[in-house]
Amino acid sequence: MDSAAQAFTVEKAHVWRGDRHVLKGVSLELHSRELMHVSGPNGAGKTTLLRVACGLLRPEQGRVSWCGRPIGSIRAEFQGALAYAAHEPALKGDLTALENLRYMIGLKRRHTRAELEAALERTGVGSCAHLPVRVLSAGQRRRAVMARVLATRAALWVLDEPFTNLDAAGSALVSGLLAEHLERGGMALVVAHHELPVAGSIRRLDLQA
Amino acid sequence: MSAAPIERRDLCDLQGPPLAAASGVLGAMGLIIQRELRLSFRRPEQLLQPLVFFLIVTTLFPLGLSLQLSLLRDMAPGVLWVAALLSSLLSLDSLFKSDADDGTLDQLALSGQSLTAIVIAKTAAHWLLSGAALVLVSPLVAIALGIPGPVFPVMLLSLALGTLTLSWLGAIGAGLTVGLKRGNVLLSLIVLPLAMPLLIFGAGATDRAISGISSAGALYFLGSLCILTSTLAPFAAAAALRITLE
Amino acid sequence: MWTWFYRLASPPYVYRTAASLIPWLMTAAALTIGYGLIDGLVFAPPDYQQGDAFRIIYVHAPSAWMSLFSYSLMAVAGAIGLIWRIKIGHAVAAATAPIGASFTLLALVTGSLWGRPMWGTYWAWDPRLTSELILLFLYVGVMSLRAAFEDPARGDRAAALLAIVGVVNVPIIHFSVVWWNSLHQGATIAKIGKPSMPGSMLWPLLSMLFGFMCFFGAVLCMRLRGEVLNRERQAAWVRGVVK
């Protein structure tokens, strides 16, 4: 089932923020069932790299491709295959967890309420599904974000420090989800400060400041 | 729960059928409008604040000027319009701000839907909550300022068209300034000069109606401004958001 | 031909070429403005309606024209930077903005001085002057927006988008102000318009306009060199120049 074509590539991306050369010709390549662990000191450009990978930030030089095509030309298809979780949980505090998922997944594809509830259940916040997100703890919000990532059924997961605010059980959950995702044929680009206890093929990308 | 399968059988089979149907544009826009309305009704005080501001500003003019009703009536269309402009601007700041602050704007940009469609939906919802509300409250203000009853249809129509156009212009300004420190001041600085034609035609239409002259010309200009802005502004606002998101 | 175009977008080329253009433009400006002022202020006959007051047109009309021209140039340069991502476009837009704003201010001041003998007051909401005032607000908006961004690249792009939106609005604003003025001002207020122009009045005016264009070009080249140096300060060629 592995496709011969490189599934996701970033080629020599350069990004400047004012005078700072944040990304200096970074390249990476990801295939099905692979996880790339991006590490580096603060300010090395890890979040910038993830935003470039998602297409939110256009690099001044360099290219991002999905299945051999530049992501700018296949925007809708690429975004359908992508799930991005930023460092801050992107949830509306006044909506319930279930409503948050509904309004985000609903923009991408048709879904059923049961699917969303099952995703929340899987990540351990099923009981919080009908609570407004602002009353949830930081750990619960992080789990709700993972539920959203799961519910998108995306092939490429781009996660910025997914283990933040999680206890041991939560970290084990995220590792488990990543392992399952890889097993199903997905791929993941993950920024994390510590080693990833995930079974599967892990590649490493170290960014220097 | 058994793990859900990846979206496509073969990862790079871009032509193959997806496992679930994608959302259509209109459905997505409806969903966004629903989201905006639901969020706003959970914070009703934020809906009322611009309206109260509208009433306060209108009160400032008689207090500051004169109680001579005839004089007030002459100035009424202008006062009404300036107050409407300023209170609309106040609420425009929040068009994208909360989404930008909590990161959901990124998710909207990555939803697979066109950013232009998202901007149209958000702006339409915003107008329903602020501009339309203003139009509904305006008869009260008009009575207080001495605008005669028969003029109301023209006044309401001009305000409806004007606040809608202002929402579109404000979307561009909000897209450019969201995330900037003191962005709301800059927003007003940017949007107000662009909104001056609106003020001229809108207040002019009401003024002419009060004088008994036909206001059709002014209303037509206002209408064409509204159409022009409605068609062009969403693209500009989406472009502005893309600049902000980087 | 394309090589010329690529060279035009290359910062070191622009830096050197602008330097060589400045003396020519300044000389042309000095000559034509000098001629225009002397001929217009001294030799041209007084207008039968406005007397000697109309002579300020020799500064006012070219300033107003330049203010509009600069805004359009700023918008076009910004568009080039925004759409085709050619960075020199943003440099030109950033360099033009304050020059255009200054011309607008000059037009307002001279227009106001012109109005004094005609209206008896320095400001009477004449449609042309009101349009110029709104144009000044547009300039200030673009300049403030550019300055508000910490990342100058994003600031350039945001300012370019605003300039494009503004340039579409300028004719709309002007038209609406003229309409507004026709409603509210009676015919008793004389508009500061061009009096009907015999040749003896026209030549100095055209000369002044040409002179202002050359002056604009010269100042633009000066500012552009500064902008280019600032933007490219990390590049090797800049270090060579500054040393």
Q: What is the 3-state secondary structure (H, E, C) of A17-30?
A: ECCEEEEEEEEEEE
In angstroms, the CA C66 to CA C209 distance is: 8
Beta carbons within 8 Å of B216's beta carbon, 6+ residues apart: none
Give C81's contacts in chain B (Cβ within 8 Å).
none
Question: pLDDT category, C57, cuts 50, 70, 90?
Answer: confident
Q: Is residue C1 part of a domain?
A: no
A106-152 pLDDT, tens digit per residue, is 998 888 999 999 999 999 999 989 999 999 999 999 999 999 999 99
Return the pLDDT at C187: 43
Q: Which residues of C touch B236 (CB under 8 A)?
A: 161, 164-165
Q: What is the edge-to-edge ordering of all strands in the sheet holding A187-191?
A: A82-85, A156-160, A187-191, A34-39, A201-206
Q: For chain C, what is the mean pLDDT?
A: 86
Residue C130 has φ and ψ, to the nearest 5°, of: -65, -40
Q: With an 8 Å Cβ cutoff, is C152 touching chain A?
A: yes
Report the 10 Å Cβ neighbour count for C198: 11
Taking one residue from A and the other from C, the number of pairs with CB-CB distance under 8 angstroms is 8
Q: Which residue of A77, A107, A178 is the best one to mutate when testing the B interface, meaning the one whose CB has the most B CBs within 10 A?
A: A107
Spatial separation of the C-alpha atoms in residues B172 and B119, rounded to whole Å: 10
Residues of chain B with pLDDT under 70: 1-21, 66
CB atoms under 10 Å from CB of B193, counted, come to 22
DSSP H or E segment with residue A202: strand A201-206
Query: Would you say A208 and A177 are in contact if contact means Cβ atoms under 8 Å apart?
Result: no
pLDDT in tens, A156-173: 999 999 998 888 999 999
* Across B8-22, C32-46, C154-168, least confident range: B8-22
For residue C87, being part of any structural domain is answered with: yes
Residues facing residue B196 across a β-bridge: none
Which of B110, B242, B245 would you mutate first to test chain A, the one with the most A CBs within 10 A? B110
Q: What distance in Å separates the CA atoms of residue C149 and residue C155, rounded to the nearest whole number?
A: 5
Is A24 in the C-facing interface, judged by CB distances under 8 Å?
no
DSSP notation for C47-72: BTTTBTGGGGHHHHHHHHHHHHHHHH
Nearest CB partner across the interface for C137, out of B180, B193, B240: B193
- Which of the other chains make 3 or more beta carbon contacts under 8 angstroms with chain B? A, C
According to DSSP, the residues that pair with C20 across neighbouring strands are: none
Could you give the CA distance from residue A82 to residue B112 in angstroms, rounded to a whole number?
9
Give the orientation angle of helix B216-245 with respect to helix B183-211, to 10 degrees. Answer: 170
**Which chain C residues contact residue B193 at CB under 8 A?**
134, 137-138, 141, 166, 169, 173
A45: left (phi over 0), alpha (psi -120 to 50) or beta: left
Q: Do C172 and B176 touch (CB under 8 A)?
A: no
Which pTM value belongs to this model? Answer: 0.90
Whether residue C184 is contained in a domain is answered as: yes
Q: Is A93 in Cβ contact with B102 (below 8 Å)?
A: yes
C169·B246 Cβ contact <8 A: no
- Chain C contact probe: residue of B169, B180, B196 with most C CBs at under 10 A: B196
What is the structure's pLDDT at B2?
43
Q: Residue C160 corresponds to which tokens in the numbers above?
A: 């370019």
- The string over C36-64, giving b where at least 16 C-beta atoms fall within 10 Å of a residue's C-beta and e elsewhere, is bbebbeeebeebeebeebbbbbbbbbbbb
Cα angle for residues B155, B156, B160 (degrees, 5° grid): 120
Q: Name the residue with higher pLDDT: C38 or B165.
A: B165
SS3 of C135-175: the string is: HHHHHHHHHHHHHHCCCHHHHHHHHHHHHHHHHHHHHHHHH
DSSP code at position A203: E
What is the nearest CA distance from B219 to chain A, expressed in angstroms?
37
What pLDDT digit, counting tens, does each position of A21-34 carry?
A: 889 999 999 988 89
User: What value does the mean pLDDT take over residues A9-18?
Assistant: 89
Residue C50 clears pLDDT 90, i.e. is over it: no
Position C8 in a domain: no
Q: For residue A187, which of A203, A174, A172 has the smallest C-alpha distance? A: A203
∠B96-B89-B192 over CA atoms, to 5°?
A: 115
Site from A14, A15, A19, A48 to mutate, C interface, most C CB atoms within 10 angstroms: A19
SS3 A190: strand
A62-68 average pLDDT score: 91
Q: C136: domain range?
A: 17-237
Domain A1-81+155-209 CATH (choose: 1.10.645.10, 3.50.50.100, 3.40.190.10, 3.40.50.300)? 3.40.50.300
Say which residue the tokens 């349009």 belong to.
Answer: C131
Would you say residue C2 has pLDDT above 90?
no
Is the separation of the CB atoms in B243 and C154 below 8 Å?
Answer: yes
CB contact under 8 A, B197 and C145: no
Quick check: C151 and A17 CB within 8 A?
yes
Q: What confidence category does residue C3 fall into, taking pLDDT thresholds of 50, 70 and 90?
A: confident
Determine contact: B45 vs chain C, CB below 8 A. Answer: no
Identify the residue whose tokens are 């809906």. B47
The ipTM estimated for the assembled molecules is: 0.91
Asked whether residue C41 is domain-assigned, the answer is: yes
Query: Domain coordinates of chain B in residue numbers?
Result: 25-245
How sure is the predictor about C194, in pLDDT bands with cuts at 50, 70 and 90? low
Give how many domains chain C has, as a whole number.
Answer: 1
pLDDT digits (tens, 9 = 90+) for C104-137: 999 999 999 888 887 888 888 888 899 999 999 9
DSSP SS3 for C209 = helix
Q: What is the DSSP letter of A11?
A: E
Judged by CB atoms closer than 8 Å, whether chains meet at B176 and C173 is answered as: no
Residue ranges of domains in chain A: 1-81+155-209, 89-153
pLDDT digits (tens, 9 = 90+) for C62-101: 999 999 999 999 999 999 999 998 999 999 999 999 999 9
Taking alpha carbons only, the member of C155, C156, C142, C47 closest to residue C104 is C142
Residues of chain B in contact with residue A118, where contact means CB-CB under 8 angstroms, are 1
Sign of the Cα torsion B60, B64, B67, B69 reads negative
> In C206-243, which positions are buried (b, 16+ CB within 10 angstroms) versus exposed (e)?
ebbbbbbbbbbbbbbbbbbbebbbebbeeeeebeeeee
Taking CA atoms, C147 is separated from A120, B191, C74, in Å, by 45, 17, 16
